[in-house]
């Protein structure tokens, strides 16, 4: 299983695959933004392209989305190779800071690595997302299917209050504390992989499927919105 350290190495490897050109901050573009989009950071440093307020990298989700969009040739073509190098570096630094790896397979960048399965669409209103949509973002398609496959009998919700959920899924424990913004779980997938990117494993998905639905939806929305303030461990 790829551990955090080896994923870091993979990310470092990617830098060598990018042609070595001097990184230059992008210039203002005709289709650039004049200021930060609504609800986005006002600090230009939080953008891969600060001059045009593009490719925000302030959260793991946005950094991953930035990587995906900027891997598309038609988006890259708007910049000189030097500017591309600058944006690549900003995005990669953010991904590394958030512990999100970009995987290389056969010398090709695979942008949906194990930890990356779904992103919040850039302008999707979290308040309008359904339980399934919210879970899909945190689980990805494969893990959502695995979560749905876990037998209800294997899930035990022992405590469910306004702020605290606790219980077990199979032999693993689950503790979700809204007040402390803390999520504790002890399976291998979560510990070695998902927690780093503040994402869910199948057990956490199965657990939330068995708690009171409005409670679960409220928690998931809160999690997505304030994810960078939560501790996953
Ligand atoms: Zn788990």
Q: Tens of pLDDT along 114-154?
A: 334 344 554 467 788 899 988 988 888 888 999 999 999 99
b or e along 5-27 (b: 16 or more beta carbons within 10 Å of the residue's beta carbon)? eebeebbeebeeeeeeeeeeebe
Distance of CA 231 from the midpoint of ligand 1 (Å): 15
Distance of CA 6 from the midpoint of ligand 1 (Å): 21
Q: Tens of pLDDT along 25-62?
A: 999 999 899 999 888 899 999 999 999 999 999 887 78
Instruction: Please state the three-class secondary structure of 73-89 as a single string.
Output: HHHHCCCCHHHHHHHHH
Distance of CA 17 from the midpoint of ligand 1 (Å): 34
User: How much is the CA Rg of the chain, to the nearest whole Å?
Assistant: 19
Residues 146-165: what's their mean pLDDT? 96
| Sign of the C-alpha dihedral computed for residues 29, 34, 36 and 38 taken in this order | negative
Q: Tens of pLDDT along 72-97?
A: 899 999 999 999 999 999 998 888 77
Does residue 224 or residue 75 have the better pLDDT? 75
Does residue 30 or residue 101 have the better pLDDT? 30
Max CA distance (Å), the chain: 58
Distance of CA 186 from the midpoint of ligand 1 (Å): 6
Distance of CA 87 from the midpoint of ligand 1 (Å): 35
Q: Tens of pLDDT along 166-221?
A: 999 999 999 999 999 999 999 999 998 888 778 899 999 999 999 999 999 999 99
Task: Report pLDDT for 111.
Answer: 43
């Amino acid at each position: 299983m790829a551990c955090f350290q080896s994923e870091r190495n993979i990310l470092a490897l990617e830098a060598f695959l990018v042609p070595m050109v001097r990184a230059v901050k992008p210039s203002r573009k005709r289709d650039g933004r004049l200021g930060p989009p609504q609800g986005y950071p006002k600090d230009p440093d939080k953008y891969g392209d600060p001059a045009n307020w593009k490719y925000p990298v302030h959260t793991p989700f946005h950094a991953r989305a930035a990587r995906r969009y900027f891997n598309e040739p038609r988006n890259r073509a708007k910049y000189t190779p030097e500017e591309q190098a600058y944006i690549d570096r900003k995005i990669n630094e953010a991904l590394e800071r958030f512990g999100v790896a970009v995987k290389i397979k056969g010398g090709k960048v695979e942008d949906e690595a194990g930890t990356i399965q779904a992103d919040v669409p850039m302008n999707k209103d979290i308040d309008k997302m359904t339980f399934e949509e919210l879970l899909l973002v945190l689980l990805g398609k494969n893990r959502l299917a695995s979560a749905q496959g876990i037998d209800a009998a294997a899930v035990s919700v022992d405590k469910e209050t306004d702020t605290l959920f606790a219980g077990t899924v199979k032999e693993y424990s689950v503790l979700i504390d809204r007040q402390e913004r803390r999520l504790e779980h002890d399976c291998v997938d979560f510990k070695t992989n998902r927690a780093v990117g503040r994402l869910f494993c199948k057990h956490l998905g199965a657990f939330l499927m068995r708690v009171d639905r409005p409670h679960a939806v409220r928690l998931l929305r809160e999690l997505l919105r304030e994810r960078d303030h939560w501790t996953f461990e």
